[in-house]
Amino acid sequence: MAATQDGPGRTRLVRGPGVLLVWLYGVMVVGAVSRSAYQIATEFDRAPLAYTLSALAGLVYGFITYSLVRGGETARKAALVCCGAELAGVLVVGAWTMADPSAFPDATVWSEFGMGYLFIPVLLPLTALYWLRKAPRG
């Protein structure tokens, strides 16, 4: 199947499984940003590290969503880097929350490898990395 062009020389990443990835990342943006914004505004002193990490996760999800929608080789590379950073964050924070639960008085999006979000935070970057490497290029 030929790559779909969107704009001058820009290959669309949002087709086939890419549509589902954009939808899932969009849901994660809304979930992570809204939750962390509320927690930072109302109870930041309770768990500042956890709430800051959740806000950071929301920003990463937003950038990946934007990159997937934008398309093109530069966006693909940026999304690959961000998905790799996201996966590293999920693995580090997930292991940290399992090894030292007292460090996080409240959960982050990435706590326990995303268990509170049905493990989507650990599965999503793996799926996205696979898709970004296998999707047709322009």
Query: Which DSSP string do the residues of 39-62 spell out, in sequence order?
Result: HHHHHTTT-HHHHHHHHHHHHHHH
Question: In this predicted structure, what is the pLDDT of residue 15?
Answer: 73
Residue 129 and residue 87 in contact, taking contact as beta carbons nearer than 8 Å = yes
Say if CB 5 and CB 15 are below 8 A apart: no
DSSP summary character for residue 5: B
Confidence of residue 22 (pLDDT cuts 50, 70, 90): very high
pLDDT digits (tens, 9 = 90+) for 99-131: 999 888 898 889 999 998 899 999 999 999 999
Phi and psi dihedrals of 44, rounded to 5?
-55, -35
Please say if the pLDDT value at position 8 is more than 90.
no
pLDDT digits (tens, 9 = 90+) for 41-94: 999 999 999 999 999 999 999 999 999 898 888 998 999 999 999 999 999 999
Percent helix, percent strand, percent coil in the chain, to nearest 5: 75, 0, 25
pLDDT of residue 97 exceeding 70, the answer is yes
Given this model, what pLDDT does residue 71 score? 86
Position 1 scores a pLDDT of 37
Cβ–Cβ < 8 Å for 83, 13: no
- What does the alpha-carbon distance between residue 124 and residue 119 come to, in Å, rounded to a whole number? 8
CB 110 within 8 A of CB 53: yes
Q: Which pLDDT value is given to residue 43?
A: 95
**pLDDT surpassing 60 at residue 2:** no
Which residue would you say has higher pLDDT here, 61 or 4?
61
State yes or no: pLDDT of 9 exceeds 60: no
Predicted TM-score (pTM) of the model is 0.85
